[in-house]
Amino acid sequence: MTTTATPTTSGARDSESFDEAPFDEEAFQDLKAEITAWVEGPGEDYADEIEATGQVPDRLLPELRDRGYLSLAAPVELGGRGIPFSRYLELMEIVSRSHASIRMLVHVINGTWRAMVPFATPEQLEEVVKPSIAGTKLVAFTLTEATAGTGQDLRTTARLEGDTWYLNGEKHLITFGVKCDYWLIAARIEGSTEKDGFVAFLMPNSGLPGAEVIDDSDTMGIRGTDHAILRFTETPVPASALLGEQGDGLKVALGGFLLPSRVSVAMSAVGLAERAQQLAVEYANRRETFGKPLSSRQAIQFYLAENYADIAAARALVIEAAKAYEEGRADAGVLSSASKMVAVDMLARVTDKALQVHGGQGYWKRNKIERVYRDARAQRFEEGTNEIQKLVVGRAVVTGAVSY
């Protein structure tokens, strides 16, 4: 099954230049059924194992890779399956009903190529981008800092001397930052105060001098996924690691990855909410109070009705944001933020009601809703907190940048 790649930000290489091919709807529906069966079968076994051990088993990544789940959205010319962004999100919706660490692998690996492709040199395409799409090399998106993280406030700096950059600073909350092969890292050019004073690098995670990797993986949810604190002190980075040109750093980080990734996170919230609703319905039908199924109680039906409407509304907005991104519309960025803002708030309401349907039983780890409830909290800050998303949307509204 092949289709055209989705639009990306402008740069040295535009993914829109790849050849178009017809979309095979029948094959896509077969793929959806396959992924659903995997999520409900082996995926649940993996989820139980991850929760029991606190580790993602080594065999999971190769299995996802061999099934083609890590190369769903990338262009066929780069080794991907070329599924359009809005249709790929239908698959992300399904995957997100599984364990958060499974969703994280599929989400990140299917997204980082968008940041790299428009700016990568031919050598970087062969050495990093294509292996990343194939799932043989792992790239960690490296933006957030302890005292910064929205982009222009970055404090990590890079200084060019000859043909070597020297990196100084600290990054926090870096997913896959411990075990990855490369860091896709953004930094401010030392001494720069301009918006275009940023650079991006594809740095190998291979014991560079002055680079300290601290395992920071003990989290509330998304158990098993590694997270890192990275500290750089005069760390030398060869000029060949520069992704794009000087000044492209924020284009790489914000446009290339974060915009579509916010929409993907929003859809993952929809998928996880659907799983919470499914668990709530199953429990309400199974549990009896005073000789009647819990599901016959009006209060419970109201919870489930509200959840259904909440999920459906959020999903519609996410699909609209995805189509805006595909079409390169001017409102794509605002809809990206709006969809994440709405979807993660929806997820909080749905998982809370789903847990309440379970009563005290839901608080015990032996019930799957407990893990779903914990995992749901992470999406409130993935790819920017809701407070940041509201700033983006609010500014667009008051300046008339959006229409109705």
Please give the positions annotated as active site: 383
Find out whether 184 and 115 touch, Cβ atoms under 8 Å: yes
Tokens representing 169 are 């600073």
Identify the CA nearest to 198 among candidates 254, 238, 142, 158.
158
CA 386 from chain centre, in angstroms, equals: 15
Residue 268 tokens, joined:
């993952």
Cα–Cα distance for residue pair 305/316, rounded to 1 Å: 17
d(CA 366, CA 89): 30
Longest dimension (CA), the chain: 79
Cα angle 171, 172, 174; round to 5:
95
Distance in angstroms (rounded) separating the CA atoms of residues 112 and 49: 27
> Computed from CA positions of residues 287, 291, 293, 299, in that sequence, does the dihedral angle turn out positive or negative?
negative
CA 209, chain centre distance (Å): 30
Strand partners of residue 199: 187
Per the document, the length of the chain is 404
- Is 159 strand, coil or helix? strand
Exposure string over 62-101, b if 16+ CB within 10 A, otherwise e: eebbeeebbbbbbbbebbbbbbbbbbbbbbbbbbbbbbbb
DSSP codes, 50-83: HHHHSS--TTHHHHHHHTTTTSSSS-GGGTS---
